[in-house]
Structure 1
Amino acid sequence: MFKLTTPTFIGLFGLISFQSFAQAPDWQHLDLQQDHVFGISTDKAYRELLKGKKAKPVVVAILDSGTDTSHRDLSSVLWNNPREKPANGRDDDHNGHIDDTHGWSFIGGAKGDVQYDNLELTRLIRRGDGKQRPELQTDFDNQRSQAQATVAGITRFRDVLDTIVHHINKQVPTLEDFRAYQPEGAAQAHVKSILLQQLQEGTYNNFRKQQLEEGLAHFREQADYQLNPEFDPRPVVGDDYNNSAETNYGNRNVFGPSALHGTHVAGIVGARRSDTSKVRGIADHVRLMIVRAVPDGDERDKDIANGIRYAADNGAKVINMSFGKPYSWDKPAVDAAAKYALSKDVLLIQAAGNSGENIDSTANFPTRVFADGSGTAGAWIVVGASGWQDDEHLAASFSNYGKTAVDVFAPGEQILSTVPGNAYVRENGTSMAAPVVTGLAALIREYYPKLSAMQVKEIILQSVSKVSHHVTINKNGQPVSVPFSDLCRTGGIVNAYEALRLAETYTKEKKST
């Protein structure tokens, strides 16, 4: 699973700086020429192209960590299983899933719900693959040591900071308080220097929460769960994990214990568009099907395969996949599910990943290239993340890229969307960029329902806003200036206005033939 905003720590004490943001609440909808913000021109499309046009509802599957189905901006746009009677304890539609009213969870069971899980690498090590592939064991050992060292480092930083705050004798010290403080020793001097830098643009409370508390929680999660071979939550699900053909497992709890990621993704796709909504989704006639298959850790191939099949069987026309990992346990199972979905005219949208790497040469699963050598999935779009400024920083620094592996970029920085509890937060990630494209695909299929999944893909890729200038990316830890066209197949950012214009042309041509 791609974390939303993972705190980045340099060594033991160096921390990332705060980033200010003062754009419109939903800048992804804006137009570059009219608003001077590199959105996808959704608002322009609604004003000039869609006003008065009829649309048909489109089912979109949010294959993710779970979604708060009671959120005020999502509850009215949920998919309702027409063949299932709500909460009667029966499998009315005989699909093997009892009370799957709004979707299904493949990471829960009668004993509860999975929140934390291992990285796929850890599961491979537990299976014994490290003995045959020493590079796996080396990677695992390095990652585990780094996580444990970072937990120790942040803890030491926090303890030193607590000593300074105690001497300052203020619950919420200010920048001036730290400037006036005379450090006792090298450790305090280093911590003071970090605070002087951080508090130039943020508050002490934000620094404490976002950098220390969330950072410590993140790396403890890695050390205790994701990189711990002794931890295995699968007995909660109660399935035979080694049987990839098994489908009738899970439970109806599509919220789950950790629904922030999935709720944020769902809102980007289809949060209700009204004057009273704090955020607006891309698509206005969407029905969100919630398929819970992604824990805090790496998703399991069996669950992803079953999630794809469930979505395809229940009428989803677009599946959003904001997750990924560098290793795969059972890629053939996911490949078979993807082929099944494609046979039902489903479009798959995948986030490229947040490691700042070239996935033309670095493994990133799932992938549209089939393991059996039978080719690639056609109706499958891979999405990188972009920012709002049309300059050298347009490509998000965290975004993976690839001239052949990535198709397009879409807004993925500081995206405001829904989170559990009727709340809203900004998040960064290709996890945010993918649902922008998913929403666009759904929008096209709403207003032009006769277009196939492959035609919708072609329209999205052919209608991008081309980027002609260079952008800065990180290569081996160093900033490098490259043409944007080197980062993806199309060399551009998706554009809803141009895509809908092209969809109209496709439809007219189809009628004339």
Structure 2
Amino acid sequence: MTQILLCTFLGVLVGYPIPTHAAYSFSPTIWQENNEVRVNGADLEGDYPSERILCFAPEADPDDLKCFRPDSKSIKQWTRTTIVFTPAANTPPVGFLKVFIMEDTDVCTNGGCQVLKQQTEIVIGAYKAHPYIVDIIDRETGVKTGNITREKTYEIRGFRFGDDVRDIYLGIRKIAREDIISWTYSTIVFRPSQEYEVSDGLRVQNAAAKSNIFTVNIVDTISNDPYSHLQFHLSDMRITDAWKQSQGKGIIVAVIDSGVDTNHEEFRGRIWGNPDEVRGNGRDDDGNGYKDDVDGWNFVSDSGELTPMSSHGTAVAGVIAAGKNNAVGVAGVAPEAIIMPLIVSNANGRIVGEDVIEAIHYAVDNGANIINLSMGGPGFTTDFNPAFTSSIQYAAEHNTLVVIAAGNGDILGQQEGNAQGVDLDQNPKSPVCNRNDNRWSIGVASISREGEKSRFSDFGLKCIDLAALGEGVVTTSFYALSEGGVSYASVSGTSFSTPVVSGLAALVWASKPGLAAWQIRDILIRSGDPLNDPTIGRKPDIIAALTEAGRTAAKPPLKPATPTIPPETHDAIFPDIPSLHPYESAIRWGKETRVLQGYPDGTFRPDRTVNRAEFLKIVLEADPSVDVSGETKETGFPDVDESAWYAPYIRYARRTGIIEGYPDGYFRPEQTVNVAEALKISYRALGVSTIDTGGEWYRRYLTHAQYNGILFSNDLNIASNMQRKDVVWVVWKLMGGK
């Protein structure tokens, strides 16, 4: 008969285990994660249904009950004859399933009989519950991981592990008990001391059974750098075997970016130095046009000050050349390569195209073997700028390999944090698509560890050659500008798949220094593994590339058979405007149309600023239909000399509504014109339609200019002064210049 225990409603009295009542049963008896268990019986409610409870009694300690009331979220159904529930996470691994109900019972004593409310214990039967692994945490970094490396500490999180130390399995092998640091019901901490082969996953054994299989990768120790086991871009490509042949020694890689933390211990002794420049004397000792460019140059501030503007450049440099086996941080792909830091990006990531072009020439002229450009247009359909092409050609013709990021998707997607890659065959971007000969550069896309194109990565058969891991790349950071002041970080983007390829190129080139830049490119691509998506190129195979380099005979540096500029245009149009000048096409047009001429000494002076009166004259004379000779009505501006050469132009512009002057009634003809003013005047003067997009008065003109490639660089500050080269560029573009 059913055992009766006297108790109050709130206190459950338990005694010794009793046999299962024949009228009750349940299934299944062995529980997996999220199994539904069904209990059947004659009476599972008693006389007081609201007071019934479902309990689990551990086999090791039957008095330590875990109980649940009918309103528990674990209980799906409870009727008089049926209970359906999902075992809770704190269910003991091995034990008895019990139900307690309240019943009215006649109790008789010498004083007579009475009906008492008493608790009835129903032992349904014995069960076993599997443990379940939820996550594995790398204790050194605090992040989730799917990789196990010897001598690294990990924490397994889950439930039903039990309170007693049991076993952890990697495949069919047990982890040594002495490697288990702690074991609780929901966490296990361990530190494997042995090497393990590739396994089919990690499992935990409790007192009942083994857990679910948690997929892990067995990662060999890459170096003694504490975070190197998280550098999957290294572990996934047999980098340790490659290092036996080459570590990039002596190869100079120019990182044209936001700056590199030259104080970072990962680059100690491997920041490029200009041997002919004397530090701090304020002179251009080597005559290269840059004063005190001891370790590189800042093209934003036009100085030798190299404090990084953001962490981006330091992260890029770390992927390429962080030191290895120095017992700190991470390892670089080419840990003995030399980094040349060149700054072109400000703190907001803004880059002026002309600075990049100048930096490329600087890198080439100062001995860089490889140039890393982890940059690209913001994601507009008009991100291609032909001005970069001649500088990339310049690098190729001087035996420098340029490695360029594909780009990180469309502009709106980037703003929403969900960018989708741009088809570069349809909407090419700069600088990755600036090549008239594929041998000039390597375009790099981003892939996942599984070899699939990253959602954000741009792609295209014409511009992309190789793809490397660009998701969760662990590398160096600039502590002063990083969140939390850390010196290492996990980053994603084609900005970080690109330096992987730059590092690989350094390894190959160092192994066979006599090869030409175009041969290094050819070897990396030819020896790479095909990917499922041909629009992202191939995945590099560094061992195959080193082998191929070893049997490749050196050939001369690349000299394009066909010049990219027609022969008749090779003569400089001005002494200070060489044929490869990025603004050459616009300036040539300005000279030929007489819109903007040179100075009496024959020079053009492209960087000289232009005042408002000069700019108005230039724009109006660009339109052959404009005639200011008959303008006699005074301008109405008190600061305009009506007898001055520029007065007729101001009269015409005011009469036709091109200009209005400032709110105080002045025109300020001698004041330097800024970008915002120049766009408004030129758009109105040349009759180019715009749409009111709201915002500041200049927004409609700036938006049109950015989307239609009117500015040489979309990163020009609207408040910056217009220089002669930008004046002729804007007018040329608005007049249909290509």
TM-score, scaled relative to structure 2: 0.40
**TM alignment of 1:249-264, pairs within 5 A:** 250-256=302-308, 258-264=309-315
Change (3 A) 1:64 1:451: same
Partner SS state of residue 92, structure 1 = coil
Matches within 5 A, 1:99-110: 99-108=292-301
Whether 1:398 aligns to 2:472 is: no
Partners of 1:297 and 1:101 in 2: how far apart?
24
1:76 to 269, 272, 292: 269
Q: Deviations over 1:307-361 (max 9, x none)?
A: 0000000000100000000467994442222222111100000000111121111
- 1:105 and 1:451 map into 2 onto residues whose CA distance is 31
Deviation of 1:398 (Å): 1.3
Corresponding residue for residue 271 of structure 1? 322
8 A contact 2:404–2:442 mirrored in 1: yes
Please state whether the residue corresponding to 1:336 is helix, strand or coil: helix
Partners of 2:372 and 2:352 lie apart in 1 by: 16
The AA in structure 2 aligned to 1:360 is D
Is the aligned partner of 1:43 residue 2:94? no
CA gap 1:376/1:369 in 2 versus in 1, 3 angstroms: farther
CA deviation profile, 1:31-51 (whole Å, cap 9, x unmatched): xxxxxxxx232222224x449
Looking at structure 2, the residues matched to 410 and 329 of structure 1 have their Cα atoms a distance apart, in angstroms, of: 23
Query: What is the 5 A alignment of 1:139-154?
Result: none
Match of 1:438 in 2: 502
Q: Structure 1's 104 and 329: CA in aligned 2 closer, same or farther, altered over 3 A?
A: farther
Change (3 A) 1:415 1:313: same
* Amino acid of the structure 2 residue aligned with 1:354: N
Task: Find the residue that maps to 2:520 and give its secondary structure.
Answer: helix
- Contact residue 320 and residue 335 of structure 2 kept, 8 A: no
Alignment of 1:446-465 (within 5 A): 446-465=510-529
1:94 is aligned to 287
* Aligned position for 2:403: 349
The within-5 A match list for 1:164-313 is 250-256=302-308, 258-295=309-346, 296-313=348-365
State the 1:285 CA deviation: 2.6
Q: Any idea what the Cα deviations from partners look like across 1:440-459, whole Å, max 9, x if unmatched?
A: 11111112100101100000
Deviation at 1:411, TM superposition (A): 1.1
Q: d(CA) in 2 for partners of 1:299 and 1:509?
A: 36
Partner of 2:269, secondary structure, is helix
Corresponding position of 2:368: 316
Distance in structure 1 (CA, Å) of the matches to 2:539 and 2:437: 23
2:344 partner letter: A
**C-alpha separation between the residues in 2 aligned to 1:330 and 1:507?**
36
> Match for residue 27 of structure 1?
232
Residue 85 of structure 1 aligns with an amino acid whose one-letter code is: V
Given that residues 459 and 503 in structure 1 are in contact (C-alpha distance below 8 angstroms), is that contact kept between their aligned partners in structure 2? Answer: yes
State the 1:381 CA deviation: 0.3
Question: Equivalents in 2 of 1:333, 1:403: separation in Å?
Answer: 22
Counterpart of 2:448 (choices 383, 387, 395) is 387
2:533 match: 485
Please say if residues 407 and 457 of structure 2, whose CA atoms lie closer than 8 Å, have aligned partners that are also in contact: yes
Q: Secondary structure at the match of 1:354?
A: coil
Percent identity between the aligned chains? 30
CA shift, 1:68, in A, is 0.8
Q: In the alignment, is the contact (CA less than 8 A) between 2:383 and 2:429 conserved in 1?
A: no
CA contact (8 A) 1:381 1:407 kept: yes
SS of the aligned residue for 2:551 comes to helix
Q: Which has the larger radius of gyration?
A: 2
Deviation at 1:275, TM superposition (A): 4.1
Aligned partners of 1:294 and 1:343: how far apart in 2?
Answer: 26
Partner Cα distance (2:330, 2:261) in 1: 15
Looking at both structures, which has the greater relative contact order when contacts are Cα pairs under 8 Å and sequence separation is at least 6?
A: 1
**Aligned residues of 1:301 and 1:330 also touching (Cα < 8 A):** no
Mapped partners of 1:346, 1:508: distance in 2: 15
- Whether the aligned pair in 2 keeps the contact of 1:100 and 1:252 (CA below 8 Å) is yes
C-alpha distance in structure 1 between counterparts of 2:239 and 2:350, whole Å: 33
How far the C-alpha of 1:284 sits from its partner, in A, is: 3.1
CA deviations on 1:149-173 (whole Å, 9 max, x unpaired) are xxxxxxxxxxxxxxxxxxxxxxxxx
1: CA distance between counterparts of 2:363 and 2:440? 15
How far is 1:387 from its partner?
Answer: 1.7
The letter for the 2-side match of 1:341 is: A
* SS of structure 2 residue aligned to 1:378: helix
Contact persistence 1:444–1:456 (CA under 8 A): yes
Deviations 1:166-187 (A, max 9, x none): xxxxxxxxxxxxxxxxxxxxxx
Q: Does 1:358 align with 2:423?
A: yes
* Amino acid of the structure 2 residue aligned with 1:251: S
What's the CA shift for 1:301?
1.4
Give the aligned CA root-mean-square deviation in angstroms. Answer: 2.3
CA–CA separation in structure 2 for the residues paired with 1:318 and 1:50: 16
Matches of 2:300 and 2:319 in 1, distance apart?
Answer: 23
**CA–CA distance in structure 1, aligned partners of residues 548 and 361 of structure 2:** 30
Letter matched to residue 550 of structure 2 = E
SS at match of 1:455: helix
- TM-superposition CA deviations, 1:111-153 (whole Å, max 9, x none): xxxxxxxxxxxxxxxxxxxxxxxxxxxxxxxxxxxxxxxxxxx
Partner Cα separation in structure 2 for residue 377 and residue 405 of structure 1: 8
Q: Name the CA shift for 1:460/1:386 in 2 (closer, same or farther; >3 Å).
A: same
1:496 aligned residue (527, 535, 542): 542
**Distance in 1 of aligned mates of 2:438 and 2:352:** 20
1:232-291: CA deviation from partner (whole Å, max 9, x where unpaired): xxxxxxxxxxxxxxxxxx1112223x2300000000011112241321111133110001
SS of residue paired to 1:426: strand
Greater strand share, 1 or 2? Answer: 2
Change (3 A) 1:367 1:395: closer
- 2 CA distance for matches of 1:252 and 1:329? 30
Distance 1:401 1:359 in 2: 6
Q: 2:394 aligns with which of 334, 337, 340?
A: 340
Moved more, 453-462 or 21-30: 21-30
CA distance in 1, matches of 2:303, 2:521: 33
User: In structure 1, what is the Cα distance between the partners aligned to 2:455 and 2:540?
Assistant: 18
CA contact (8 A) 2:246 2:507 kept: no
Partners of 1:267 and 1:284 lie apart in 2 by 9
Alpha-carbon distance in structure 2 between the residues aligned to 1:98 and 1:81: 11
Paired with 2:312 and 2:255, the residues of 1 have a C-alpha distance of 11
More helix per residue: 1
- Give the Cα–Cα distance (whole angstroms) in 1 for the partners of residues 249 and 430 of structure 2: 33
- What residue ranges of structure 2 are gaps of 5+ in the alignment? 1-142, 148-228, 410-420, 480-485, 557-738
SS at match of 1:460: helix
What is the identity, as a one-letter code, of the residue corresponding to 1:259? S
How far the C-alpha of 1:408 sits from its partner, in A, is: 1.1
Specify the SS of the correspondent of 2:266: coil
Equivalent in the alignment of 1:178: none
Distance in 2 separating the partners of 1:277 and 1:465: 32
